[in-house]
Chains A and B, each alone.
Chain A
Amino acid sequence: AQSVAQPEDQVNVAEGNPLTVKCTYSVSGNPYLFWYVQYPNRGLQFLLKYITGDNLVKGSYGFEAEFNKSQTSFHLKKPSALVSDSALYFCAVRDYNQGGKLIFGQGTELSVKP
């Protein structure tokens, strides 16, 4: 079965420092990977996706993600963190063996301190 794992429940970063939120995947076939962000009491907002092509994908709010096939990873990155980036981040993969539904990781709570 397709799956994604987010090894860190929480990531703490100082404002202005680079941030990385980790995601690894396990899929058969080509992976279609996504990152979403969720602010308190809100729905999920799409950040970026990898389908094919360049391994470095740029998304919303200055976020980018690097697809690494050999390491089966799709880490989310941002060069300079903002306090307003504090939120819950989800990595997800399309499971085409089960109709294409999104399989989500457990989420990583990002806290950016001033």
Chain B
Amino acid sequence: KAGVTQTPRYLIKTRGQQVTLSCSPISGHRSVSWYQQTPGQGLQFLFEYFSETQRNKGNFPGRFSGRQFSNSRSEMNVSTLELGDSALYLCASSLGTSSNTGELFFGEGSRLTVL
């Protein structure tokens, strides 16, 4: 079956703009998590959604937000972009919530460059 799909794969924005990234989980998976990957900070947890509800949130400013739709697809939004937001944004899906012991399945990521 199809894996986790993230769009767009690459995008370039300028400071102050906003961006929306999309993630379609594996069919049947109801949990979607988002991670930010940068060379300096490594992989940092952004948030997790399950059944359209945010279940967990990382230590990111309010400019970072997300949502999940009834078909489990998820979007994340970053407003008022800063240079430091340049990163690879990874989406991961799983059958249950993060409170279980299952592994996460990651998408290819969306690489955001902020100029």
B106 touches A100 (CB 8 A): no
Residues A104 and B99 in contact in the complex (CB < 8 Å), given A43-B108, A43-B109, A99-B48: no
Write the nearest CB–CB distance from B59 to chain A, whole angstroms.
10
Write the nearest CB–CB distance from A23 to chain B, whole angstroms.
14
B103 touches A104 (CB 8 A): no
B98 touches A100 (CB 8 A): yes
* CB proximity to B under 8 Å, residues A5-31: none
B98 touches A99 (CB 8 A): yes
A99 touches B108 (CB 8 A): no
B100 touches A43 (CB 8 A): no
Chain A residues with Cβ under 8 A from B103's Cβ? 34, 46, 49
Chain B residues with Cβ under 8 A from A100's Cβ? 56, 97-100
Q: Name which of A90, A96, A101, A103 has the most chain B CB atoms within 10 A of its CB.
A: A101
Write the nearest CB–CB distance from A33 to chain B, whole angstroms.
10
In the complex, how many residues of chain B place their beta carbon closer than 8 angstroms to a beta carbon of chain A?
26
B64 within 8 Å of A by Cβ? no
A42 touches B56 (CB 8 A): no
Chain B residues with Cβ under 8 A from A106's Cβ? 42
B99: nearest chain-A partner, CB-CB:
A100
B4 within 8 Å of A by Cβ? yes
List residues of chain A with CB under 8 Å of any chain B CB.
32, 34, 36, 41-46, 49, 51, 90, 94, 96, 98-107
Which are the 8 A-B pairs with shortest beta-carbon distances?
Answer: A100-B98, A99-B56, A43-B106, A104-B43, A44-B106, A100-B99, A101-B45, A46-B103
A43-B106, A99-B99, A100-B99 known; 18 other A-B pairs, CB under 8 Å?
A34-B103, A41-B111, A44-B90, A44-B92, A44-B104, A44-B106, A90-B43, A99-B56, A99-B98, A100-B100, A101-B33, A101-B98, A102-B33, A102-B43, A102-B45, A102-B98, A102-B104, A105-B42
